[in-house]
Amino acid sequence: MLYLIKSLLIDTLCRLFHIRRKPVVIQMPVTSRCNSRCKTCNIWEIKEKSDIDPDTLRKVLQDDYFSEVRSVGINGGELTLIKHPEEIINALLVLKKLDYIHIISNGLLPDRLLSLLEKIKQITVKHNVKLGLTLSVDGVGSVHDEVRGIKNCFERTKKLMDELAQNSKCYCDVMDIGCTLSRYNIPYVQQTDSFFSGYPFTITYHLAVPNKRIYTFDRYDYYVLEDERSNLLATEFFYGKFLKTSFSKQARIKFRYFANYYFLKKKGYGRLSQCSYLNRDVTIDENLDIFLCATASDRIENLQKKTPAELYKQGSFDEMQRQTSQYCNTCIHYVDLPNLKGVVLFMCEILNYRWSWGNKYKFLSKW
Ligand code: SF4
């Protein structure tokens, strides 16, 4: 609770006075190569392929601007397609306060992923850094194959899930399943959810939404809001999960379900969560271009051309913050801690459900 109040206060002050702090989290898409053909992502269609260069990355991260970074999220593309991905991990260790690395993988190369995770874990253990993994799974059987655009890939994914369920501690410290919900898999979401319940993993559901980084910002045929039935199914699903999740044991997850439900109910408007990318964290891509978030921010600059201090001095961060903030109310990415409006509506919904406030609550639902 204290942590929430502190973070609410800092978030509000930073927004009011346009204060930008040093990043604590870096989101790092390290390659544009991908072996999946997902219907919710267009990165695989881009012809120019590149990987991050570990030596240059190490140099860039030595800048004092990155001295507070504790956590790095590695995604792509697909990490297992890079020749020596462990060199990227070694480059990250130049960050003095780093205590967590999180990898997202599509799991299409299970053996390669498992042996890579074993190698990375040996490195992270030595340096007292925790390793997290998200495995992307978008449905059961042909639903997953269809969304991924790869025939029979679910079998591989399932074998990987079985191995990780048995021996996850050999490969990482924490893991979850990330399930992206779109028009293509929402009709099967109950079946998917009941399949996942047989595994000991946390499941993170998120909506496929417009995203600049993966070239889906202007094309959104995958979006549940583009189709009334899909929207209804998704809204019902998130509200059902909100009701079933315990407040005392999993308040943060319960809030995430509520924020997604509210966003869908408001037809894609109404962010109830804080977002650290607006006034603190950053994204660095495979070309060492720096952005705020991956969702709506444009490239600020290439870090080989200008240092973060130079960018800060010339007002580039502030300018990008102004540009990006116009999208925040239509964005459901990175939902974690609630903003002030989120706290009020979340608590009201819980109380309303418990004691059925009826009409007294109606004025709030218009907010
Ligand atoms: S657009 Fe979304 S991800 Fe980007 S800063 Fe705003 S809320 Fe955060």
pLDDT at 183: 97
pLDDT at 306: 96
Q: Is 197 exposed, middle or buried (0-12, 13-18, 19+ CB in 10 A)?
A: exposed
Q: Which atom of ligand 1 is nearest to the CA of 271?
A: 7
Whole-number Å distance between alpha carbons of 282 and 267: 28
| Residues 6 or more apart in contact with residue 117 via CB below 8 angstroms | 103, 131, 133, 171, 172
Whole-number Å distance between alpha carbons of 43 and 225: 22
| Residues 6 or more apart in contact with residue 310 via CB below 8 angstroms | none
The rounded Å distance from CA 275 to ligand 1 centre is 6
pLDDT of 239 over the 90 cut: yes
| DSSP string for 99-138 | -EEEEEE--SSHHHHHHHHHHHHHHHHHTT-EEEEEEE--
pLDDT of 362 over the 60 cut: no
Q: Is residue 258 part of a domain?
A: no
Residue 101 · residue 92 · CB < 8 Å: yes
> What's the chain's average pLDDT?
92
Q: Which atom of ligand 1 is nearest to the CA of 325?
A: 6
The rounded Å distance from CA 79 to ligand 1 centre is 24
pLDDT at 202: 94
Side-chain half-sphere CA neighbours of 254 within 13 A: 15
- What number of residues does the chain have? 367
Of residues 214 and 139, more confidence is placed in 139
Position 217 confidence tier, pLDDT thresholds 50, 70, 90 = confident
Q: How many domains does the chain have?
A: 1
| Residues 6 or more apart in contact with residue 106 via CB below 8 angstroms | 34, 35, 36, 78, 135, 136, 148
* Region 109-133 average pLDDT: 97
pLDDT at 8: 78
* Region 204-225 average pLDDT: 90
pLDDT of 366 over the 80 cut: no
Q: Is residue 158 part of a domain?
A: yes
Q: What percent of the chain has pLDDT over 90?
A: 80
The rounded Å distance from CA 300 to ligand 1 centre is 15
Range of the domain at 162: 20-226+269-336
Q: Which atom of ligand 1 is nearest to the CA of 332?
A: 2
Order of strands, sheet of 301-302, starting from the edge strand that comes earlier in the sequence? 202-207, 174-181, 130-136, 100-105, 71-75, 25-29, 282-284, 289-291, 301-302
* Region 191-217 average pLDDT: 93
Whole-number Å distance between alpha carbons of 276 and 73: 14
- pTM, 2 dp: 0.92
pLDDT of 234 over the 80 cut: yes
Residues with CB under 6 A from ligand 1: 271, 275, 277-278, 292-293, 295-296, 324, 327-328, 331, 333-334
The rounded Å distance from CA 8 to ligand 1 centre is 16
Q: Which atom of ligand 1 is nearest to the CA of 334?
A: 3
Nearest CA to ligand 1 atom 6: 328
Two structure tokens written together for 300 = 């600020």
The dihedral formed by the CA atoms of 304, 305, 309 and 315, expressed in degrees to the nearest 10: -140
Q: What is the DSSP letter of 76?
A: S
The CATH number of whichever domain residue 319 belongs to comes to 3.20.20.70
The pLDDT tens digits for 21-51 are 999 999 999 999 999 999 999 888 887 889 9
Nearest CA to ligand 1 atom 8: 275
The rounded Å distance from CA 264 to ligand 1 centre is 17
The pLDDT tens digits for 305-330 are 999 999 999 999 999 999 999 999 99
Q: Is residue 349 part of a domain?
A: no
Strands 289-291, 301-302: parallel, antiparallel or unpaired by DSSP? antiparallel
pLDDT of 115 over the 80 cut: yes
Q: Is residue 153 part of a domain?
A: yes
pLDDT at 328: 93
pLDDT at 218: 83
Position 364 confidence tier, pLDDT thresholds 50, 70, 90 = low
Q: Is residue 161 part of a domain?
A: yes
pLDDT at 363: 52
* Region 137-150 average pLDDT: 96
Q: Is residue 108 part of a domain?
A: yes
Position 213 confidence tier, pLDDT thresholds 50, 70, 90 = confident
The pLDDT tens digits for 153-194 are 999 999 999 999 999 999 999 999 999 999 999 999 999 999
* Region 237-245 average pLDDT: 96
Pocket test for ligand 1, best of 27, 274, 292 (most atoms within 8 A of CB): 292
Strands 174-181, 130-136: parallel, antiparallel or unpaired by DSSP? parallel
pLDDT of 361 over the 60 cut: no
pLDDT of 257 over the 80 cut: yes
Q: Which atom of ligand 1 is nearest to the CA of 277?
A: 5
